[in-house]
């Protein structure tokens, strides 16, 4: 019976603990109400007579006092429990003491969890569930002059220290080919993004609201202002934003950003200027890696406006991407073989693709639906819309008894009126050698072709007559792999597997060799800047001959040359296999590369690029 008062005391203290915890929950509810009020209307604190901040301070003081009282009552209850334990010999007392010490440690750990207010406990669970997710992370110290926010991947959450370990997967392409960096950051330095497939997880930001958003073409976040209400595009909400200090020609350009890359601007944010040449552009130049194909890339094509990028690969599925941020827009399903080439109409409404399944297909870009399929008896290697989009040229490979040929097809305005018959068929003089590329010449009057026989040819597009052939003495000595026209159709550039590994610039009308660019590695892809006198070459040692995954081993880099002086001016590393496709954006401010590694890499040029001088 002597223990009855002690037991009664324990029960009383248990009730007191329950009361304290209930009171803490009530206080926390009030704190959350004020937080929501301040988040939705931060300007309210500036109104005369508003007591939000003093009230919030008093609530935090009250919460602290309640928490301390809970610890005190818990310690009293622990002492009461110890007093009820039977005493024994010295060894037994030591064991009891050790046991009590372990119990105190365990109870403290439990108390540390139970004393955390419910909303904080929920927050901890939320952060623990972020493993493998992309989040926004502030990687600068609390006392730094400017905040630097990056898109990173969560790899671990420590419940004891409440630190989040994150991986910066895009730390840059250094000479060693590495650069990935990890950080251990406190919870306040982490901002989860809304769920990509669930727009309801994002907060609606009204016009004029300041937010933190991923700058298009980068993995860095900057302060921005919402310009208009969210626009819905292809089932995705896209905000129209103006980034602070993102000045072009004396004005702030408006940029679209997907909802899942926009978060609330943290209180006390110290802006890192978008146009800080020393730091911000260093982040902005980092490429966007687009993984949408399961097999090597074969071709890349921008639409005329430069806001869409189409990619082809050996995995049967052409893919459409947003050209500003690399977000996948959709795929075109219907081919049963590798897709070698594509072209998009001037109005961006139709796509044509050529495939190893012995067909070339017309697609509706908006819906992804197949409009028509041109059937051949051999693989369709190259496609190109004529000026006006009323004709298309398609090349086919040699197969069985068939020789390589160029087919001219009429494109009907109404898909129901489309026919498969060719308007013109041009047989290659060296029929067993494949024609790799054929494009329209100026005003659709000619067709220019090149392929495995290393000869460039100009054909009359109306009669089919062979007009000119390149001089074997000054031209390529091995397979012509790629052929790209200039924006004004006055000249074109070719890439080849020559032993000298070069690309050549030609006059479109006369086939006069104008310039030569020596690469040192096989050239699989070429492109020309529409803005500057620059050309870019890509290729590398053949994939079957490479025995290491180091990007330096096969020289897998895009090399830039001065078009006039023919001198190399720089290079961009990154692919872990030969580069098979290159394309400049029509605005000249970015370019894309596609490789044997299955990745498309989207590069937005920094300001230094436009100031290159030789």
Confidence band, pLDDT 50/70/90 cuts, at residue 124: confident
Quickly list DSSP for 107-164.
Answer: HHHHHHHHTS-HHHHHHHHHHHTTTT-EEEEE-S-TT-SS--EEEEEEEEEETTTTEE
User: Does residue 496 have a pLDDT over 90?
Assistant: yes
pLDDT at 554: 47
Q: What is the pTM of this model?
A: 0.59
Per-residue pLDDT tens digits for 513-524: 999 998 888 999
pLDDT at 199: 72
The DSSP output letter for 43 is G
- Mean pLDDT score of the chain: 82
What beta strand segments (E) does 358-501 contain? 359-364, 370-375, 380-385, 391-396, 405-410, 422-427, 435-440, 446-451, 457-460, 466-469, 480-485, 491-496
In this structure, the chain runs to a length of 614
Q: What is the mean pLDDT of residues 420-430?
A: 93
Q: Which residues have C-beta within 8 Å of that of residue 275, sequence separation ≥ 6?
A: 245, 246, 247, 281, 607
- C-alpha distances out from residue 437 to 9, 266, 299, Å: 91, 53, 12
CA distance between the termini of the chain: 98
User: Does residue 353 have a pLDDT over 60?
Assistant: yes
Per mean pLDDT, which range of 320-329, 428-437, 539-548, 580-589 is the poorest? 539-548
- φ, ψ (nearest 5 deg) of residue 532: -120, 165
Per-residue pLDDT tens digits for 200-259: 777 788 888 889 988 877 788 888 888 886 655 444 578 888 887 655 544 566 788 888
Dist. CA 480–CA 525, nearest whole Å: 10
Query: pLDDT above 70 covers what percent of the chain?
Result: 78
User: Does residue 425 have a pLDDT over 90?
Assistant: yes
Give 416: exposed, middle or buried? Use CB within 10 Å, 0-12, 13-18, 19+. exposed
pLDDT at 18: 81
Per mean pLDDT, which range of 442-451, 488-497, 541-550 is the poorest? 541-550
pLDDT at 356: 97
User: Does residue 2 have a pLDDT over 50?
Assistant: no
Dist. CA 61–CA 2, nearest whole Å: 40
Q: Which of 497, 498, 521 is nearest to 573 (CA)?
A: 521
Dist. CA 485–CA 597, nearest whole Å: 26
* Position with higher pLDDT, 500 vs 209: 209
Q: What is the mean pLDDT of residues 76-91?
A: 61
Per mean pLDDT, which range of 117-121, 302-306, 437-441 is the poorest? 117-121
What superfamily in CATH does domain 324-573 come from? YVTN repeat-like/Quinoprotein amine dehydrogenase (2.130.10.10)
* Position with higher pLDDT, 551 vs 509: 509
pLDDT at 613: 64
Quickly list DSSP for 50-74.
Answer: --HHHHHHHHHHHHHHHHHHHHHHH
Q: What is the mean pLDDT of residues 2-14?
A: 68
pLDDT at 441: 96
pLDDT at 269: 65
* Position with higher pLDDT, 184 vs 544: 184
Domain ranges of the chain: 4-115, 125-284, 324-573
The DSSP output letter for 195 is P
Range among 33-37, 40-44, 238-242, 587-591 with highest mean pLDDT value = 587-591
Cβ atoms of 165 and 156 within 8 Å: the answer is yes
The DSSP output letter for 272 is P
The DSSP output letter for 248 is B
User: Does residue 535 have a pLDDT over 60?
Assistant: yes
* Position with higher pLDDT, 390 vs 68: 390
Write down the architecture of domain 125-284 according to CATH: Roll (2.30)
Dist. CA 395–CA 105, nearest whole Å: 77
pLDDT at 173: 47
User: Does residue 106 have a pLDDT over 50?
Assistant: no
Confidence band, pLDDT 50/70/90 cuts, at residue 284: very low
Quickly list DSSP for 519-546.
Answer: -SS-EEEEEE-SSSSEEEEEE-S-GGG-
Per mean pLDDT, which range of 35-44, 301-310, 316-325, 578-587 is the poorest? 35-44
pLDDT at 515: 94
- Give the domain 4-115 fold: Helix Hairpins (1.10.287)
* Position with higher pLDDT, 334 vs 139: 334
pLDDT at 459: 97
User: Does residue 144 have a pLDDT over 80?
Assistant: no
């Amino acid at each position: 019976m002597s223990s009855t008062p002690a037991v009664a005391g324990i029960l009383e203290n248990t009730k007191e603990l329950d009361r304290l915890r209930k009171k803490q929950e009530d206080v926390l509810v009030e704190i959350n109400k004020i937080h929501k009020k301040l988040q939705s209307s931060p300007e309210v604190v500036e109104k005369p007579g508003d007591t939000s901040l003093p009230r919030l301070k008093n609530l935090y003081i009250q919460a602290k006092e309640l928490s301390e009282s809970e610890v005190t009552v818990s310690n009293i209850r622990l002492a009461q429990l110890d007093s009820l334990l039977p005493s024994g010999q010295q060894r037994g007392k030591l064991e009891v003491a050790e046991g009590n010490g372990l119990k105190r440690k365990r109870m403290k750990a439990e108390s540390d969890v139970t004393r955390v207010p419910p909303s904080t406990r929920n927050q901890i669970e939320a952060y623990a569930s972020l493993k493998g997710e992309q989040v926004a992370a502030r990687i600068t110290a609390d006392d730094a002059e400017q905040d630097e926010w990056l898109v990173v991947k969560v790899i671990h959450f420590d419940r004891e220290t409440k630190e989040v370990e994150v991986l910066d997967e895009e730390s840059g392409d250094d000479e060693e080919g590495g650069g990935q960096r990890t950080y251990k950051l406190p919870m306040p330095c982490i901002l989860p993004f809304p769920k990509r497939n669930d727009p309801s997880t994002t907060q609606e930001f009204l016009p004029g609201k300041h937010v933190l958003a991923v700058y298009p073409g980068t993995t860095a976040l900057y302060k921005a202002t919402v310009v208009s209400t969210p626009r819905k595009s292809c089932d995705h909400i896209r905000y129209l934003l103006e980034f602070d200090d993102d000045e072009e020609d004396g004005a702030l350009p408006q940029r679209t950003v997907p909802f899942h890359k926009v978060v609330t601007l943290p209180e006390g944010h110290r802006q890192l200027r978008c146009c800080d040449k020393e730091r911000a552009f260093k982040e902005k130049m980092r490429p966007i890696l687009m993984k949408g194909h399961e097999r090597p890339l074969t071709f890349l094509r921008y639409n005329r406006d430069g806001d869409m990028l189409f990619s082809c690969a050996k995995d049967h599925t052409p893919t459409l991407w947003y050209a500003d941020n690399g977000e996948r827009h959709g795929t075109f399903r219907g081919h049963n073989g590798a897709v070698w080439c594509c072209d998009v109409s001037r109005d961006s409404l139709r796509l044509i693709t050529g495939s190893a399944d012995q067909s070339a297909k017309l697609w509706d870009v908006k819906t992804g639906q197949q409009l028509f399929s041109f059937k051949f008896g051999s693989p369709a290697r190259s496609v190109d819309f004529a000026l006006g989009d009323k004709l298309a040229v398609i090349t086919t490979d040699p197969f069985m008894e068939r020789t390589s040929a160029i087919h001219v097809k009429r494109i009907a305005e109404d898909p129901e009126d489309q026919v498969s018959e060719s308007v013109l068929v041009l047989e290659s003089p060296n029929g067993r050698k494949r024609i790799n590329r054929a494009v329209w010449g100026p005003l659709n009057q000619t067709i220019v072709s090149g392929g495995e026989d290393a000869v460039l040819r100009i054909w009359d597009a109306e009669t089919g007559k062979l007009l000119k052939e390149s001089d074997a003495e000054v031209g390529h000595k091995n397979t012509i792999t790629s052929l790209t026209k200039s924006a004004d159709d006055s000249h074109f550039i070719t890439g080849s597997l020559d032993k000298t590994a070069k690309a050549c610039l030609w006059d479109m009308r006369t086939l006069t060799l104008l310039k030569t660019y020596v690469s040192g590695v096989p050239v699989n892809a070429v492109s020309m800047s529409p803005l500057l006198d620059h050309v870019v070459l890509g290729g590398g040692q053949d994939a079957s001959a490479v025995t290491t995954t180091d990007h330096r081993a096969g020289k897998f880099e895009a090399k830039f040359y001065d078009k006039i002086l023919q001198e190399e001016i720089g290079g961009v590393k990154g692919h872990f296999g030969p580069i098979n496709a290159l394309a400049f954006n029509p605005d000249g401010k970015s370019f894309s590369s596609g490789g044997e590694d299955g990745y498309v890499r989207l590069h937005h040029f920094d300001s230094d690029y436009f100031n290159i001088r030789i």
